[in-house]
Amino acid sequence: MISLATARERWTSFLGSFVAVAVGVAVVTMSALVLLSDGTGVPQRLAGAPVLVRSPAGAPAAGVFTENPPWAPERAGELRRELGRLPGVAAAVADRSFYAQTPGSGQRAGERQGRPWSAAALAAYGLSGGRPPAADGEIVVDDSLGHRPGESLTVLTARGPQRFTVSGTVDGPGYYVTDRRAAELAGGVRTIGLVLEPGTDPARVAAAARNAVGADGTVLTGASRDALAPQQDEMIRWIGGQVLTAMALLSAFVTVFNVSSTFAFAVAQRRREFGLLRTIGATPRQVRRLVYGEALVVGVAGAGAGAVAGVVMAPAMTGSLIDAGFEPAGFEVSIRWWVPAAAWALGVAVALAGAGAAARRASRVKPLEAMREAAVDSRPMTRRRWVTGLAAAGLGAACSAGTAFAGADAMVLLVLGAAMSLTAGLTLLLPALTRPVVGALTRPLARRPGATALLVRENMLTSVRRTSATIAPVLATVAFAVLITSAVQTTQSADTTRQAAAVRAEAAVVPRGTPGLSDAVVDRVGGTALLSTTVYGGEGGAALSAAGVTPGFEQTYRARAPRSHDVVVTAAVAAAHGWREGRTATLTFEDGRTRHLRVRAVLDDSMPYQVFLPRELVRAHDPSALADVVYRTTATPAPSLSGLGAEEVPVAVHAASDDAEEDRLVWLFTLILVTITAGYTMIAVASTVLSATAGRVRDLRVLRLSGAAPRQVLLTLAAETCCVVALGAALGLAVAAPALFGMAQGLRRELGLPVELSVAWPWVAGVVAGCLLLATAATVLPARAALRRMRGA
Amino acid sequence: MPPVRLRSLTKRYGTGDRAVTALDDVTLDFPAGTMTAVMGPSGSGKSTLLHCAAGIDRPSAGEVLIGGTELGGLDENALTVLRRDRIGLVFQAFNLVSALTAAQNVELPLRLAGSRPSADEVHAALAAVGLADRHGHRPSELSGGQQQRVAIARAMIARPAVLFADEPTGALDSTASRVVLRLLRDLVDGRGQTVVMVTHDPAAAAYADRVLLLADGRLADELAGAEGAEAIAARTAALEVRS
């Protein structure tokens, strides 16, 4: 009864907890729903085949998503014949593809939409107009592109722009040409689809197919065909998963932080009420249960709102995730009802856990405190608080020191660890720090004439709890904002420095609106081109990123280039496969053929690819390979590149934009994290200040009665709030600084290059300004209303 | 046997040079069915006496017996239970839980004791203080005097052995004060309730059967409330001058 009534009555002081729990649960619900949803499913181009056979998987590696190596061409032919002979199978069709794109239509790197007409039998869609391609110059295209049969059409392929005549259209994605034309451009076979005779049971055919292919492939039917979703989609989902996991974790931390700080303050403000309850017969246990009861009310309501919001917002968030590139196109979230239920339970548990310390503290209130005026906080630091605070701060300091010596992987963890521990530690120690720090910093105020300065100083000093409770969320916001934004900038500028240092060229020609550069572009520019492909190394068939290079590579990268029948590999790859200079490396190519090549050189791991091959060799085995970049080494600018989907940029610009997509995702991810932490903690600031002001109405009355004009009263309050926020910001910077310096030091040592520490000042300033505005508004507006009421009364 | 007996009650705050003796070896009985006013200058120890007698502060030495039970022998829980069942408390201000209605405040001690009070019982308690029609109001919607009467109703709901009141009229105007004091007096006369009241107001003390004057933690003087406010004021003034 009391819990419910109190939660209703004192909603301002519970607002921070409520919102924190609601937002936290909403984030966890959305993240979990998205994380647990299925992928994009079987691609449409294969969805028409009830039974699909897929080439065996290569060596799996965590966080690496590559397509399986294709079958050797002879083996693919054999399998197709064997499968075609199975009873009930009308046709066994190879799924082959090549790069094809009309200028202006978007396509992702690595995507290959050109296919032979025979493969159209596997698709879930069919001819929607015209007729199949009969001659080599004919093409069938997606009807959504708006081309009609008979039209002439330029299609970009790996060779360059090529003219086709549209013979028909399909109501699905893809560019279909004659099988003979496709054979010139397409790579190896990874999937064979079985078209069944009417009335055949797919399960029986699948069993027979399993017998036929044995260990040489995986037979998929029904829902298991979803495994054929593009590996690129899976990688995007994996990145999305990382983002969502980090978001959920940070939300949980911030929720516990906010709930415990708002509850601590709410309890501190209500010492007299607890004292009253104790005098009229409440046992300490009952008082503790009362606070837990309030946490339960806030938790149940907040988590309920959050769970509902999470379910409602999950589809919308999926849309933004797809737009942002964290989830593949066509991804749909599936609502599982136990997910919001579990998130709700988690939210309630977090609320109870966050209120735990406050509840213990409330139960220790003595009955006598009901009779005290208790404006001066006595003994805000307990032994336990000292011990935990110092331990957490120590751990944070250790993590900060660790960043100077850690590798790149551990660095991010250590920086986050340092931020969380230092924030928690300093927050716990705040009541002890507040008095000396505020006292020293505001000493000049005391000497100034006028009452405002004196009042500001003394108010902050005497109400240590109120001051600390406001400083804590500001500290957390600023520390996280500085760390997250600045840490990324440091890493990014380091990456750019590293790449620009490696290449010597006049300019770089890069793709524009296309996944890569065709032969036509490479021929026209006449520099050093990096023809991108994937090879599968050794017996396990681990996928390796490879580049086909011309002899000019030696000049551009100052590294040894492969000659015919040679390969150059990076040190990490060499170590993983046991390759050394002069030894033979076995590689499987995109067309499924295997070659034995001599290792000419081993390069260090800073190279942009893992394996370097002669350009002709890559072209011969991967007719659809595209160049990622052409470095122009001659002084004359490249001739016109219009219509080829390419543009020339300075080398430094290319170096900075090389990872542009990845950087964009990282930056977006950063902003999401900053927004979440900042948004949250600002709510905590507002809630704390709001309830602090509500509890000070009596003070305001006394000030007014002793002759202060309303303006002076408001000015005093606003000045106090500004001072507190400024202090919080300063402490937040102090928390972030050690980790940042450690990180810069670590990168400098790791790279051997000068690395400047770059702090994202606009963001930091924005976050501080936001806290300042919100806190001042939360102080002044209710105080003004209170003053008005006083005048009215 | 008197419901409240104090035996050599001593309370010291602090240690060493800074030690302050608030109560110095006080022995007193508060007889059943009487109203006693405790007076004295600031720092005379009158509030400390009330806190120790009501079991919300622990004496440094001596004994407090409530209805024959020695409080020193009780742990925090047992003391709380005793307070809940045997002692009623009314303070100067901040008597009510602001989130609860008048009726909910009144039934709070019974609920804390784990029983479910009947609506009639709560209604009767509020009616006894003349606030039957205000049961659904929150403290912020009640005047100071009304709040104090709700606090008295709450203090009486468990039928305590003794009702302690700490400056019950300190924050009220004279009209409201008179209503509250009349109420306390009626409890003594009508129900035989034992009331102990700390006050600095001679007019309030005049309602009591017996007025005790404290100075420097010791019992300095004693007179009957019937002697009137002026006589009480004169005696207190004399004490203030002496100390």
Contact list in B for residue A282 (CB cut-off 8 A) is: 80, 112
Tally of domains in chain B: 1
Mean pLDDT in residue range A671-693: 76
Mean pLDDT in residue range A255-259: 80
CB contact under 8 A, B80 and A8: no
Lowest mean pLDDT among B69-73, B146-150, B239-243: B239-243
CB contact under 8 A, A282 and B80: yes
pLDDT band, residue A375 (cuts 50/70/90): very low
pLDDT band, residue A539 (cuts 50/70/90): low
Contact list in B for residue A363 (CB cut-off 8 A) is: none
**E strand segments, A622-761:** 626-632, 646-649
Residues 49-88 of B with CB under 8 A from A: 51, 54, 56-57, 76-77, 80-81, 83-85
Q: Where are the domains of chain A?
A: 1-40+229-374, 51-227, 395-501+656-793, 514-644
CATH number for the domain including B229? 3.40.50.300
Pick among 2.40.40, 3.30.160, 1.10.3470, 2.60.200: CATH of A514-644? 2.40.40
CB B197 within 8 A of CB B162: no
Dump pLDDT digits (tens) for B74-96.
Answer: 888 888 888 888 898 888 876 78
CB contact under 8 A, A286 and B112: yes
CA distance B239 to chain A (A): 26
Question: A230: left (phi > 0), else alpha (psi -120 to 50), else beta?
Answer: beta
Beta strands at B4-13 and B61-66: parallel, antiparallel or unpaired: antiparallel
CB contact under 8 A, A367 and B113: no
Which residue does chain A place closest to B116, by CA atoms?
A: A1
Contact list in A for residue B77 (CB cut-off 8 A) is: 283-285
CA distance A283 to chain B (A): 6
Query: What is the number of other CB atoms lying within 10 angstroms of the CB of residue A338?
Result: 9
Q: Specify the pLDDT at position A748.
A: 67
pLDDT band, residue B197 (cuts 50/70/90): very high
CB contact under 8 A, A371 and B113: no
Which residue does chain A place closest to B75, by CA atoms?
A: A283
CB contact under 8 A, B51 and A368: yes
Dump pLDDT digits (tens) for A408-463.
Answer: 556 666 777 787 788 888 888 888 887 787 777 777 766 766 667 777 777 777 77
Mean pLDDT in residue range A119-147: 87
Report whether pLDDT(A739) > 90. Answer: no
Check residues A315 and A680 and name the one with the higher pLDDT: A315
Check residues A594 and A709 and name the one with the higher pLDDT: A594
Output b/e per residue, B157-185; b: 16+ Cβ within 10 A. bbebbbbbbbbbbbbbeeebbbbbbebbb
Question: In what helix (H) or strand (E) does residue B13 lie, and over which residues does it extend?
Answer: strand B4-13
CB B4 within 8 A of CB B65: yes
Report whether pLDDT(A490) > 80. Answer: no
Which residue does chain A place closest to B83, by CA atoms?
A: A281
Closest CA to A345 of A289, A306, A294, A288: A306
Q: State the alpha helices, DSSP H only, in A280-328.
A: 284-324
Contact list in B for residue A368 (CB cut-off 8 A) is: 51, 56-57
Q: Specify the pLDDT at position A63.
A: 46
Report whether pLDDT(B232) > 80. Answer: yes
Bridge partner list, A532: A547, A626
Q: Specify the pLDDT at position A14.
A: 79
Closest by Cβ to A370, choosing from B77, B91, B112 = B91
Distances in Å between the Cα of A427 and the Cα atoms of A188, A476, A738 are: 60, 8, 17
Closest by Cβ to A280, choosing from B47, B57, B89 = B89
Lowest mean pLDDT among A355-364, B181-190, B207-216: A355-364
Dump pLDDT digits (tens) for A520-535.
Answer: 888 888 788 888 888 8
Closest by Cβ to B89, choosing from A6, A279, A286 = A279
Q: Specify the pLDDT at position A109.
A: 67
Check residues A206 and A7 and name the one with the higher pLDDT: A206
CA distance B154 to chain A (A): 9
Q: Specify the pLDDT at position A509.
A: 85
Check residues B242 and A19 and name the one with the higher pLDDT: A19
Dump pLDDT digits (tens) for A548-576.
Answer: 888 788 878 778 888 888 899 888 788 87
Residue type for position A132: P
Give me the percent of chain A exceeding a pLDDT of 70.
86
CB contact under 8 A, A281 and B85: yes
Interface test with B, best of A280, A289, A294 (most B CBs within 10 A): A280
Interface test with A, best of B46, B71, B83 (most A CBs within 10 A): B83
CB contact under 8 A, B51 and A371: yes
pLDDT band, residue A491 (cuts 50/70/90): low
In the DSSP assignment, the letter for residue A377 is P
Contact list in B for residue A786 (CB cut-off 8 A) is: none
Q: Which domain holds residue B237?
A: 4-242
Closest by Cβ to B80, choosing from A2, A6, A281 = A281
Closest by Cβ to A276, choosing from B57, B94, B158 = B94
Q: Specify the pLDDT at position A89.
A: 87
Q: Is some CB atom of chain A closer than 8 A to the CB atom of B109?
A: yes
Which tokens hold the place of A17?
Answer: 């907890």
Which tokens hold the place of A108?
Answer: 């992702």
Q: Specify the pLDDT at position A484.
A: 72
Report whether pLDDT(A305) > 90. Answer: yes
CB contact under 8 A, A280 and B56: no
Counting one residue from chain A and one from chain B, the pairs whose CB atoms sit within 8 A come to 78
Q: Specify the pLDDT at position A62.
A: 45
CB contact under 8 A, A5 and B99: yes
Give CA B89 to chain center in angstroms: 5
Mean pLDDT in residue range A65-87: 84
Q: Specify the pLDDT at position B198.
A: 92
Phi, psi of A300 (to 5 degrees): -60, -45
Output b/e per residue, B31-64; b: 16+ Cβ within 10 A. ebebbbbbbbbeebbbbbbbbbbbbbbebeebeb
Dump pLDDT digits (tens) for A627-671.
Answer: 888 888 777 776 777 777 888 888 777 766 655 666 676 677 677
Dump pLDDT digits (tens) for B44-76.
Answer: 888 889 989 988 888 999 999 998 888 888 888
Contact list in B for residue A6 (CB cut-off 8 A) is: 97, 99
Q: Specify the pLDDT at position B207.
A: 92
∠ CA A544-A547-A551, rounded to 5°: 145
ipTM of the complex: 0.84
- Collapsing DSSP states into helix, strand and coil, what is residue B29? strand
Dump pLDDT digits (tens) for A342-355.
Answer: 999 999 998 898 88
Report whether pLDDT(A702) > 70. Answer: yes
CA distance A272 to chain B (A): 8
CA distance A287 to chain B (A): 10
Q: Is some CB atom of chain A closer than 8 A to the CB atom of B124?
A: no
Report whether pLDDT(A303) > 90. Answer: yes
Closest by Cβ to A283, choosing from B80, B100, B158 = B80
CB contact under 8 A, B108 and A276: no
Dump pLDDT digits (tens) for A216-238.
Answer: 888 888 777 877 777 767 777 77
Mean pLDDT in residue range A282-292: 89
Mean pLDDT in residue range A259-280: 82
Report whether pLDDT(A470) > 70. Answer: yes
CB B66 within 8 A of CB B82: yes
Contact list in A for residue B138 (CB cut-off 8 A) is: 9
pLDDT band, residue A691 (cuts 50/70/90): confident
Question: Under an 8 Å CB criterion, which residues of A touch B?
Answer: 1-2, 5-6, 8-10, 272-273, 276-286, 366-368, 370-371
Which residue does chain B place closest to A289, by CA atoms?
A: B112
What mean pLDDT is reported for chain A? 80
Q: Specify the pLDDT at position A376.
A: 47
Q: Specify the pLDDT at position A472.
A: 82
Distance CA A463, CA A378 (A): 10
**Highest-scoring range by mean pLDDT, A118-122, A300-304, A492-496:** A300-304
Closest by Cβ to B80, choosing from A5, A278, A371 = A278
Dump pLDDT digits (tens) for A161-190.
Answer: 889 999 999 988 889 999 888 888 888 888
